[in-house]
Each structure stands twice: as C-alpha cells, then as structure tokens.
Amino acid sequence: PDFAILPDMAADVFTAPLAKPAHVGADWLESAQTAYTAEDDAVWNDLFARQMEVLPGRACSAFLAGLEKLDLARGGVPEFGVLSEELGALTGWSVVPVPMLIPDHVFFWHLANRRFPAGNFIRTRETFDYIEEPDVFHDVFGHVPMLTDPTYADYMQEYGRAGWKAMRYNRLKALGALYWYTVEFGLIEEAEGVRAYGAGILSGPTEARFAVEAQTPNRIMLNVDRVMRTDYVISDLQPTYFVIESFADLYRQTVERDFDRLYRSLPAGFTYANSAVIDVDNVLHRGTQEYHLRGGRG
C-alpha cells in the first residue's frame, strides 16, 4: 500500500472495527435530527408527490415495496428513531442523522456496522430541484427503502467493509465509482424491463425517465472490475448507466471478489471516460449521447 490514510489504522486492519475507531470524532455520532417546521414537512410532501408521479413503472419493485413497508407516504419528514425501529426489524439497519457529507472512512465505518448516515436537514424551495449535499429527502426517500431488501442490505454492509480495505490500497476513487454506478445510479433488469434502484435516480425530478427510457445514455451490464476503472460525473445526468441482473448477482460479484488482488491490479486513476463503450462490454443500449438543451445537460 502506498500510504496509510489514517494515523492510527493498524497495519493489518482490513475490516472496519465494530467499536468506534479512535479517529472518529464523537461529533459525527450525535448530530440529532433537527426539529422540522411545517414548511419542511410541506417541502418533503411536495418532493414525495412529484417523485410518485414518475416512479411507478420506472423504480424497481424492491424500492416500491420498501416505501410501503416503511410507510414513507405517511406525510412529513420521517423521524429517524421510528424509521430505525421499523428498518431494524426488517434487515437490522438503522439510520444515523448527520449534518453534512462525512469523511469516507466514517461513512464506510457506519455502513460496515449496518448504519446508514442520512442528512438531518431538508432542502429549501430555492434548492428544490438540485442539492449539492445529500439532504433527508435524497437519503431517506432515495436510499433507505432499498435497505429493506435483505440482499441489497447485505451488499451495502459489504460495501462498507470493502471501503476500509480500499483505504489501505489508496483506491477510494475506484470504490467510489462502484458506489456511484450502483447505489447512486444503478439499474436492474426486471421481468417488465429495466428499472432504477439508484438513489440519485429515484430522488431526482428528471433522471428516472432519462435513465430508464431515454435514447441518450449507454446502458451496459455491470462488471465490477470495469466499473471501478470508469470515471463519473457528479452533478449531471449520467452518460452511462450500469445494469445488474439481480441484487444476488451484484452481491456475488462484490463479495466473492478478492478485493486485495483487485485493488492491487487497479491503476490509481480512471481508465475509461464516463461515456465510453469498450470491447468487453455487454451493451444493452448504445446511447446516442445527444443532449437537448431543454432536459439535458443545460
């Protein structure tokens, strides 16, 4: 490994410790949920209603089932304590309120212990359509329903464990690409067709149509090694979406990998541009990569 990112990580620490690591400051743990105003609840309800106009027929069945199981349609910003009890009973996950993006190693440490860090704040009317930092709507509406699926819940914990190993090999960017193209922007094949499971798609106003139906982006079957070599754009529609056959297949491709060998074989930077289609790809749809000012990159 090139260098140890964190001062007190013991040389042989390849899995996230269960106890709180010394270098994780206490303040990451206790940022309570803020008291929400009536306007906050109204923003949540309006965001929820807008997504539910577009998601049926485009969101994967595990997501829609998760919304039901957690009764997220009850109205108003969900209270994390109640949410964690219901989620805990289903898959052993809980939701931890955080005030902002947290350092990768803290984020991974939570996931490795089946805790999902979720923004404790909600966006304003001014940032209704796009937010820089994940707020409670992106995290709780976009990510949390997926954690009610047992296989996906296991994948997320393995992802957290893989994160600590990535730090040993200085390959956080590579692992971040895997997160990006699965947890944030992943598509899955279902009987009726391709559906979205990525939170970035499920919580955004336009991406559900674009990712599932548009001619513009590539849709390529997921290969973990290839995805970890692929660059990604943070604040825009994706030129390429990766598709899995099932969460069981995603889990197999991840857990059964020898990540030590994989990290050692990966270069420090990315190899493939985010719009690339390469010879090993199993291509479902080769995108036109045409963007129209109205709904595209504008």
Binding site for Fe ion (CB under 5 A): 134, 199
Give the full edge-to-edge strand order of the sheet including 187-190. Answer: 193-196, 187-190, 240-244, 218-221, 283-285
Q: Which residue number, 73 or 233, has a Cβ lying nearer to ligand HBI?
A: 233
Nearer to Fe ion, 9 or 135 (CB): 135
Strand runs (DSSP E) across the chain, as ranges? 94-98, 115-119, 187-190, 193-196, 218-221, 240-244, 283-285
Listed residue (35, 42, 108) closest to 76, CA to CA = 42
Instruction: Select from ligand HBI, Fe ion, none the partner in contact with residue 211, using the beta carbon and a kind-dependent cut-off of 5 to 8 Å.
Output: none
Burial class (CB in 10 A: 0-12, 13-18, 19+), 122: buried
Shortest separation between residue 111's beta carbon and ligand HBI, angstroms = 8
When CB distances are held under 5 to 8 angstroms depending on the partner's kind, the choice from Fe ion, ligand HBI, none that residue 251 binds is none
Find the DSSP H helices in 116-232: 136, 150-168, 172-179, 199-202, 207-213, 224-227
Give the span between the Cα atoms of 202 and 99, in whole angstroms: 22
Which residues are paired to 102 by β-bridges?
none
Q: What is the DSSP letter of 227?
A: H
Q: How far apart are CB 13 and ligand HBI at their closest, in Å?
A: 18
36 or 107: CB nearest ligand HBI: 107
Q: Token digits for 294?
A: 């109205």
Render 79-92 in DSSP notation, one character per residue: PHHHHHHHHHHHHS
Per partner kind, with CB cut-offs from 5 to 8 A, the member of Fe ion, ligand HBI, none near residue 98 is ligand HBI
Nearer to Fe ion, 179 or 210 (CB): 179
**Token digits for 112?**
């490795």
Q: Based on CB atoms, which residue is closest to Fe ion, 135 or 154?
A: 135
Pick the closer one to ligand HBI by CB: 41 or 104: 104
| Minimum gap (Å) between residue 295 Cβ and Fe ion | 22
Q: Which is nearer to ligand HBI, 110 or 195 (CB)?
A: 110
Per partner kind, with CB cut-offs from 5 to 8 A, the member of ligand HBI, Fe ion, none near residue 102 is: ligand HBI
Least distance CB 228 / ligand HBI (angstroms) = 12
For residue 116, the partner it binds in Fe ion, ligand HBI, none, with Cβ less than 5 to 8 A by kind, is: none
Rounded to the nearest whole angstrom, what is the least distance from the CB of residue 106 to Fe ion in the complex? 15
**101 binding partner (options Fe ion, ligand HBI, none; Cβ < 5 to 8 Å by kind):** ligand HBI
Binding residues (CB under 6 A) for ligand HBI: these are 98, 101-102, 104, 107, 117, 134, 176, 179
Cα 158 off chain centre by: 13
Q: How far is the CB of 186 from ligand HBI (least distance, A)?
A: 13
In this complex, which beta carbon is closest to ligand HBI, that of residue 164 or of residue 179? Answer: 179
Residues in Cβ contact with 85 at an 8 Å cutoff, skipping those fewer than 6 apart? none
For the chain, the first-to-last Cα distance in angstroms comes to 41
For the CB of residue 178, give the shortest distance to Fe ion in the complex, in Å.
14
Q: How far apart are CA 289 and CA 292, in angstroms?
A: 10
Give CA–CA dist 172/67, Å, rounded. Answer: 31
| Closest distance to ligand HBI from the beta carbon of 104 (Å) | 5
Find all residues with CB under 8 Å of 65, minimum gap 6, and list them. Answer: 145, 148, 149
Q: Which does 199 bind (CB under 5 to 8 A by kind): ligand HBI, Fe ion, none?
A: Fe ion
